[in-house]
Structure 1
């Protein structure tokens, strides 16, 4: 079995900043942090640790992709991802500084890979909790490609936590993936 990995960098980072804000007492709960848009702007994650967590040694990895908005020039996560064998896909933000094209880019690549590269028994690993991916996941399931979703518990749509999807919460590994 080969695992195809797709990571939504912005979602991992933003929701991790919310968890950090709650842990540091900046918000009373994740609900409050989400509703009031409270984040710990100093928090970041170690991509190498995330990779180690989601792609353990010995697992056959197919195409691995990291998606996100164009970063500042000094952001090293993209080079680290490339060094780990990830393809990096960057998109410009719109005039209102909002992220665009990332979710559609991920879904499009997943579907393309499922037709061009995946073989029966291969599996999708999505690191994002957005329900927008549900139609893509359902389409893959109909064709016999199972999906694992690894993401923050509070930010994962309930539909992505139910069988046949295998949900893996990142929350227990918060300290492990936090950049020191």
Structure 2
């Protein structure tokens, strides 16, 4: 089984900072944190733990954005022999370019998978911009999962539902584990 894992780093990080703010009682719930722009600026993701959680033996991890230089993510990938593609996001309102780049890469990589039913595509993101690519890949028979904080867009969560189960993995219960 092969896994392709795509991480929208800014999406993961910003929403993780909001979850942390709620845990530290800086906001009463995630929706207040979102509406009032409350974040915990001290929170950091341990990308090595995230990688270990998401990736199996044969995975290609692609990360959009850039984790901190000393983070365990880089050491983990080097030890495993993986070379992620890292894209620096232009922070001057270029988020859509990042979303489009991820969606394009997901589609391109999907058609290199050998077994659609067993190989998997995992997206770590929570906004509804990814719904078209997720819906399209699933309609083509690919196994697609979304892993994100529980307040991911309902439309995205619905897009990964199968008839008998949801392919959404909530990170909320792992927040402390993913904290560096």
Q: Give TM-score scaled by structure 1 length.
A: 0.84
Please tell me whether the aligned partners of residues 91 and 100 of structure 1 are also in contact (alpha carbons under 8 angstroms). no
Match of 2:106 in 1: 110
Please tell me whether the aligned partners of residues 93 and 100 of structure 1 are also in contact (alpha carbons under 8 angstroms). no
1:41 aligns to what SS in structure 2? coil
Please tell me whether the aligned partners of residues 66 and 81 of structure 1 are also in contact (alpha carbons under 8 angstroms). no
Aligned residues between the structures = 171
Runs of at least 5 residues in structure 1 that lack an aligned partner in the other structure: none
Q: List aligned pairs for 1:55-66, cutoff 5 A.
A: 55=55, 59-66=56-63
Please tell me whether the aligned partners of residues 129 and 160 of structure 1 are also in contact (alpha carbons under 8 angstroms). yes
Relative to its length, the structure with more strand (as a share) is: 1
Match of 1:176 in 2: 177
Runs of at least 5 residues in structure 2 that lack an aligned partner in the other structure: none
Please tell me whether the aligned partners of residues 2 and 113 of structure 2 are also in contact (alpha carbons under 8 angstroms). no
RMSD: 2.2
Please tell me whether the aligned partners of residues 153 and 170 of structure 1 are also in contact (alpha carbons under 8 angstroms). yes
In the alignment, structure 1 residue 134 sits paired with structure 2 residue 131: yes
- The change in CA–CA distance for 1:132 and 1:80 in structure 2 (over 3 A counts) is farther
Following the alignment from structure 1 to structure 2, what is the Cα–Cα distance between the partners of residues 63 and 92? 20
